[in-house]
Amino acid sequence: MRVLSGIQPSGALHLGNYFGMMQKMIAYQEQEELFCFISNYHAQTSLSDGKVLARGTLEAAASFLALGLDPEKSVFWVQSDLPEVQELAWMLSNFTPMGLLERCHSYKDKVAQGGRPNHGLFAYPVLMAADILMFQSEKVPVGKDQKQHLEVARDLALKFNNEYGEVFTLPEPDIDDNVATVPGLDGRKMSKSYGNTIDLFLDDKSLRKQVMRIVTDPTPVEDVKNPDTCNIYQIYALFLDTAGRESLRQRYLTPGLRYGDVKQELFETIRDFFAPFHEKRKALLADPDGLREILVTGTEKARRIAFKTMRKVRKKTGLTY
C-alpha cells in the first residue's frame, strides 16, 4: 500500500509533529511503500522570510532522518523540488468549486488567529490534494484537523475521474484516535501558531522551561486529580505503554500527587527519549551538501512517479497535442 504525508518546515518541530505524524511515517517504511516530503510551499502561507524557510527546510529534513526515516526504504524529498505539483494544483483548481474551499474550517481558523487572508492560504487544500493525488496515494496519515482537507482531495479526484476516466486513486485517511490531537501547554491542539509547543531537540534548560509551563488546574495536593482533563497526563501518556498509563492514572486518583513532580518526570522522559537522536541530527546539519544529496536522490525517485501521473493527466486534459 502506498502511504504519503508531508510536514511543514515553518518552525521548530514539536511533540505534536512527532506523535501526530512522524513516528507513524517512520514505522510505515518497514511495511508499506512510503512517500514523505517537506512541504515548504505550504509553509509559505505563514512564513515569508526566505532565509528562515531555507534553514527550516534543512532542519526538518535532518530531524526526520535523525529520528529514523531511511531514504533507502522510502521516497523523501522537498516539495518545491518537484514543480509538477504546482502544475497539477492548477489543473485541479479548475475542478474546485468555490463553496468547497469556503467551507474549509482551517482557513477560517487561521485567519481568526491572525493569519494572512490570502489566496495561498485559501487554496491550500488544492495544493495538498495535488501532493496526494500526484503519487496515487492510498493512505494518508492525518490529524483530525486535516481530515477535511483529505476529503477535499477525494472530492477533486472524483470530479476529475468523472470527467476523464480513472486517473487518480481515491486516498483514505489514517487517523490514530489515541494521538489524533496532541495537546499543547494550554490544552489546545499543540501548534506553532498557538505558541504552546514542546519542541524536539532542545537543550535541557529550554526543554524543562517549556514543560514547566504546562497549564494545570488549581486542585489542592491533598485531593485526587482527574487525569482525563490534565494536560500533563495527556502528554505524558504518549510516552507510556498501557501498564504505564494505568500506573500514572492510579497516582492521579490517589491523594497527594503534586503536578510539579509529574512535570519533572515528564521533562526527564522527553529528554531521555530524544537524547539518542541529537547527535545524528547535529552531524546531518554539519554536512548540508550531503543532506541535499539525500534530498536530490529522493526527488529523482519522486519525479519518476510524478512523470507517469502527469503524462496521463496532460493527455486526458488536452495539454499533450
Using the structure block, give the residue that is written with the C-alpha cell 510505515.
28
- Active-site residue, 312 included: no
d(CA 311, CA 241): 47
Q: Of the residues 139, 144, 147, 192, which is catalytic? A: 192
In terms of DSSP bridges, do strands 139-141 and 172-174 run parallel, antiparallel, or are they unpaired?
A: parallel
Collapsing DSSP to helix, strand or coil, 220 comes out as coil
95 φ/ψ angles, rounded to the nearest 5 degrees: -115, 10
Q: Which three cell numbers stand for residue 203?
A: 537543550
Q: In what order do the strands lie in the sheet with 74-78?
A: 74-78, 33-38, 2-7, 139-141, 172-174
Q: From the CB of residue 249, how many other CB atoms can be counted at a distance below 10 Å?
A: 17
Q: Of the residues 73, 144, 189, 315, which is catalytic? A: 189
d(CA 264, CA 258): 10
Q: Of the residues 73, 110, 205, 263, which is catalytic? A: 110
- Active-site residue, 192 included: yes
One-letter amino acid at 150 equals L
Burial readout 76-111 (b: 16 or more C-beta within 10 A, e: otherwise): bbbbbbbebbebbbebbeebbeeebbeebebbeebe
- Active-site residue, 110 included: yes
Numbers of helices and strands, H then E, in the chain: 15, 5
d(CA 216, CA 31): 40
CB 271 within 8 A of CB 199: no
Cα→Cα distances 90→5, 15, 39, 309, 313, Å = 20, 34, 17, 15, 12
Collapsing DSSP to helix, strand or coil, 306 comes out as helix
The residues annotated as belonging to the active site are 110, 189, 192
